[in-house]
Structure 1
């Protein structure tokens, strides 16, 4: 099993931990590069590099479980405090930025950090240039019909309005050839979970990525979010999440949509989700995917062990 996972942020982190538990032959993380906030935003503006934050998190997720690997994973994630020039910066972001300058490319830097962490896989940016996200947002004026543009990942993720559509700036970015090859050569590809408009859908707006997804022989699985997020997908149903994929990538073909069994309980809603998934050529599969806290209360975080079991089961059933 060769797994390629598309996404960013905490959603991709959980997916990569799940992928490791499946013990595949290889793992490749294809990561969004549109972050413009915090440490990543500062570094992309000051150094004109792709934002390293989501890439750093993916590297931490794939770090080896031994003492050396976990020391590096902890170091990558360590964030400086205080009020000085380094305040808020993650060590891993600075390391990736520095190595990019020394080695001449971000991909070489990521591969070098992967050596330090004795990584279980490879981390690849979806593009080799930083991207911006611009959203069409309704509900920011008294008249709900008025659509306003909102630019920037942080602004889109936190907008009090309703996101209708997003686009990338520049609109035709060149995909990383390594990312395209990882999708085409995979036997299992995952998309999501994560921030739908800022971590998941942007992959589908990069020319060549949808073609690679449609051209691969891999089993393609969309892992649906456990709930709508405050801000960009507030009030969205599971059905609407799927419709957004179809709206932004009409030619996209997927094999399975993996949904937590407690997220959608009614027969009527499940029928709506099945109809939406059919627009992608996909079958909906339900499984228990939630992490449970110490009190036995289900959370809105995917449990890597449960997600690993579900993905492995889907893969075995398909081969």
Structure 2
């Protein structure tokens, strides 16, 4: 029992001392308030012809004289000093504890720890992540541990599932990928995020729809635009950063296959039975949203992927203004490759094949300069029963020939993006992926500083 009390006392002492650490943006305002109080008292004293100051000095002198007569100064000084520090720390602890109870009574996070975490995130880089599907939401859920300045630019070409039904029947932009990104960046209670992601499993007209898709579609109808609906949803979910559609146009994808066939629709492209040669969209050259262009202009790091190459990544590069903004940016640009090939979409493609597909798509738009010259890829995946299962489904690991890519001028980084823990799927692990991305960013920043 005594040991527990000592540990609790030590913990409280550490938390109290942690308020003295730099970066919380609290001490400066406490000091400002203290200076203001002293100035206000001095102003009142001057107004009262300095009499209160004389009375106060007399009281202090008499009190100190009485105390030093009872106890020697060598004992009284340290006692009064310790008493003052103790009262200061206790009062500070109780004050901020009351503030925490008023603002977030049900949260276990101590206020000083929350402020320290927020201060660290506010010092994070401006990151722009471009893509769609589960790959982008996986990346975002990891990156929000490192920065609060995250912009997700999301494709709006989806025409399958719940998003496709809402798009056809209500005439709204497909909300599915946007919903996933909002949930990934949410810092609100997990129950609210689960509600946003909840998918109805029964009910006439409701089966297959997620609550978040219906919520965004209703807000789009009320506010008049998906962009405004996203802003409102971001406030509800306390989103850390912002989610921006790549365009507000009703985009429909088309693809030309190697056998000469032309197919239309994102869902059909994902099931192509012949290699894709060229992609486009209707309407051609859809406009980008100003918020997306502004985010790219101020970015410290621009990411493309992970995600389905032809249905999640390249549709964003069909927006010419986005491509131009990326070209103008001086930020490092990193392409994050998938772990596995996707049957019907990227069969037989290695990392080099993915990069060639991106460059070919940009070349069809008249862009000759390489857009992404840095690559993050998975280390060789060990043989396992899970990998054998994927091979039976037609998927293979995306091979990275780092030496060849480096000869071609790419900056290649390989890392264990799947994570070290056994999983039921071969997908990126959010923490491992975000850690590798931040290592790349720090290395690039350090190299620029030393140059």
User: Which TM-score applies when normalising by structure 1?
Assistant: 0.89
CA-atom RMSD, angstroms? Answer: 1.9
Contact 1:290 1:299 in 2 (8 A): no
Q: 1:147 aligns with which of 260, 265, 269?
A: 260
Structure 1 or 2: more helix by fraction: 2
Tell me, in whole angstroms, the C-alpha distance in 2 between the residues paired with 1:266 and 1:220: 21
Residue of structure 2 in register with 1:270 after alignment: 402
| 1:154 Cα deviation from its structure 2 partner | 0.6
Residue of structure 2 in register with 1:137 after alignment: 257
| 1:72 Cα deviation from its structure 2 partner | 2.1
Structure 1 or 2: more strand by fraction: 1
Deviations 1:177-211 (A, max 9, x none): 11111111111111001000010011111111111
| 1:253 Cα deviation from its structure 2 partner | 2.4
2:256 counterpart of 1:124: no
Residue of structure 2 in register with 1:141 after alignment: none
The runs of 4+ residues in structure 1 deviating greater than 4 Å are: 263-267
Residue of structure 1 in register with 2:305 after alignment: 192
Q: 1:106 aligns with which of 226, 231, 247?
A: 226
| 1:252 Cα deviation from its structure 2 partner | 3.8
Tell me, in whole angstroms, the C-alpha distance in 1 between the residues paired with 2:424 and 2:398: 15
Contact 1:180 1:212 in 2 (8 A): yes
2:56 counterpart of 1:56: no
2:358 counterpart of 1:245: yes
Q: 1:86 aligns with which of 177, 186, 206?
A: 206
Q: Which is greater in Rg?
A: 2
User: Which TM-score applies when normalising by structure 2?
Assistant: 0.64
Deviations 1:89-143 (A, max 9, x none): 11111111111111122111001111111111111000002211111123xxxxx
**How many correspondences in the alignment?**
301
Residue of structure 2 in register with 1:38 after alignment: 161
CA distance 1:297–1:103, change in 2 (3 Å): closer
Unaligned ranges ≥5, structure 1 = 139-145
Tell me, in whole angstroms, the C-alpha distance in 2 between the residues paired with 1:152 and 1:265: 25
Residue of structure 2 in register with 1:142 after alignment: none
Q: 1:9 aligns with which of 121, 133, 140?
A: 133
Deviations 1:204-244 (A, max 9, x none): 11111111111112221110111211111122122100101
CA distance 1:212–1:206, change in 2 (3 Å): same
Q: 2:413 aligns with which of 258, 280, 285?
A: 285
Q: Which structure is richer in relative contact order (CA contacts within 8 A, separation 6 or more)? A: 1
